[in-house]
Amino acid sequence: MNPPKNNRLALVIGSGAVKCAAALGVWKVLNRAGIKVDLLVGCSGGSLFATTMALGYSVDECIELTQRLWNRSITRKRDTRSFLKALLPQVFKFDERFGMIDDHAMFKNLRAVFGERTFTDTVVPLYLLATDFYTGEPVVLDRGTLVYALRASISVPFIWRPWRIGERFLIDGAVSNPLPVDVAIREGVELILAVGFETPAPRRIKSISRFVFHLNSVMTNNLYRANFAFHNLAHHAEIITVLPDFTQQVSLFDTQHIPYVIQQGEHAMEQQLPYLQRLLGENHSS
């Protein structure tokens, strides 16, 4: 039997930096339609939005918080010590757990929004995805202080230092699982809304660091697709993919495009809404 037997709905928000704000557009549409989300999963940039939603903020509040969380101040200050160690490993003892950017500004923004709240403060179960820096395994975070879990999940390699939680050093969830539909599958949710983004590849490469960035983007995309292909076959019920279209180039920190991004998310969700309602309606009628 294919239609989902229970009414539980999961919202999975994949990695995609500022494009993840499209999830707020999805949230808007769901709220308007009176559809409740029972489980939230976030990866990388998607974690920020999954967390604000999980804490029960309204759509407008989430939008306002996004502007506070995501601005250029978080990448302004260089992590000088780390940077020097990377550049001159013979002089300064090289530390493989380095990052170019100082994370104080990021923590300041995160704390301003989330304070010291923990996963137990969420009104909807929340799961955030990170990656073990040494083994490459996906690591699901579902307890403890939210700002630390977020710091780990969005820890883009080279940009921020890996973040320690327990015995592990964690980095960006996108290195292992850019769109963690499997977490929702594992938690027994039948109906899954997956909001995913592909990284556009840069056009011209003029330096080795740009080459590395391009390569990482390409591999994140390939991993995104490979994982989805697998999860798709592994699930027994339904995954509805919400894939917002961006005709405008939206780069890593283009926060001025947030209203456009949200609108594209709304538009993509509106296209899937009739089918979602039919699926949910099928259960109400039985």
Partner 1 sequence: MAMNLIEAGAGRKKVALVIGSGGAKCAAALGLWQVLQEEGIQVSMAVGSSGGSIYAAAISLGFDLNTAEQLTLSLWTRDLMEGYATNLRRAMTGEVRFTESSGLIDDGPLTERLKTAFGTTSFSDAHIPLYIVSTDFYTGESVVHNNGPVLDAIRASIAIPMIIPPWQVGDRLLVDGAVSDPLPVDVAIKEGAQVILAMGFELPVRKRMRSYTAVTTHLNSLYMNNILKSTFAFHNLAHHAEVVLLLPELDPAIGAFSAEQFPEVIAEGARSAREQLPYLRRLLSQTSLD
Partner 2 sequence: MEITTNYQDQVAVVAVEGSIDALTSGDVSAHLAGQISQGYHHMILDLSQVEYMSSAGLRAIMEGLKTSRQAGGDLRLAEPQPGVDKVLRMAGFPSIMKSYSSLAEAAASFKD
* 3 state DSSP class of 11: strand
Site for partner 2 in 141-200 (CB under 8 A): 196
- x-marked contacts with partner 1 along 154-193 as a string, rule CB under 8 A: ---xx----------------xxx----------------
112 binds, among partner 1, partner 2, none (CB under 5 to 8 A by kind): none
Token pair in block for residue 87: 């550049």
Residue 136, interface with partner 1 (CB under 8 A)?
yes
In angstroms, give the least distance from the CB of 245 to partner 1: 17
Q: How many CA atoms lie within 13 A of 205 on its CB side?
A: 10
Reported in sequence order, the residue ranges of 148-236 that DSSP labels E, i.e. its strands, are 163-165, 168-172, 191-195
**Please, which residue, 135 or 248, has the CB nearer to partner 1?**
135
> Other C-beta atoms within 10 Å of 59: how many?
18
Token pair in block for residue 53: 């939603």
The residues facing 187 across adjacent strands are none
- x-marked contacts with partner 1 along 78-117 as a string, rule CB under 8 A: --------xx-x----x-x-x-------------------
Alpha helices in 80-207 (DSSP H): 80-87, 104-114, 146-153, 181-186
| Site residues, partner 1 (CB under 8 A) | 86-87, 89, 94, 96, 98, 131, 134-136, 157-158, 175-177, 201, 204-208, 210-212, 214-223, 226-227, 229-230, 233-234
